[in-house]
Structure 1
Amino acid sequence: GWGLVADINETTFELRLGILQAKVERMNIYVPKDVLEFLARNIKSNIRELEGALNKVAHTSLIGRSMTVESASETLIDLLRSNHRSITIEEIQKKVAEFFNIKVADMQSNRRLRSLARPRQIAMYFAKKFTQKSLPDIGRNFGGR
């Protein structure tokens, strides 16, 4: 079937900073530049989350707290923690197996079935892209490949 191909690369620091500056102007509030840079550097997942973080930080100034990088990091501690959570090979295998309706054990086996090759390749690609594991480490999790 036909489908839409969309490039979903991570936004750049400059783009995130620009989005924050535009939002601050629209909201007609003052947020120190170092706080905006802190948000742009640390909230990378998506624009909605970035704007939500800005709203939370801006709210702290409304209740009388000064807006600093320290107060922003205190306000956003839970969000920052979840943003830095690392993805495991096991989680990747589970999601890919679920998507292709195969068993994780089959993906981890050294069986060379065509029905397993594509899901295994995709999971290995994601493991390389989203984990800090070396290729030999990744291979050991996929039947020694």
Structure 2
Amino acid sequence: MTISSVQNLKEQAKRLRNAIPSVLQQTCTHGQALELIAKQLGSRDWNTLLATTRSRTSEKTFSLGQRVSGEYMRQPYSAKVIGISQLADANRYRVTLQLDHPVDVVTFESFSCFRSRISAVVDRFGISIARTSDGNPHLKILAA
């Protein structure tokens, strides 16, 4: 999360704090509004939201032809970016990667399915939106 996005969240909290009295006939402190924003984004509280986002690697920029590495279905890969487009939500990208070596996407012992090309929607940190059944992201672009 960048300084500007933290500032945007604080501004959202301010607007929320100002709107709550007219809708719910209750007052709301700025701290309570920050906590509500954090919960809306899936965090336990505001401090947890800040700590987890600041501990992540900085935002990544992607470009055609760029070399990247990371994890796909929990397996390491290195690849070349062969397609990229920013989605309407400016914080998400559709990326297509051509892997240097195919990755087996099946964990079952008697069956394999190798992929040499991956397309996924990732956030600005390079983490895919899609998750496995145990909650892990399908794709992580860790190094650019």
- If the length of structure 1 is used for normalisation, what is the TM-score? 0.28
- If the length of structure 2 is used for normalisation, what is the TM-score? 0.29
Q: Which has the larger radius of gyration?
A: 1
* Structure with a larger share of its residues in strand: 2
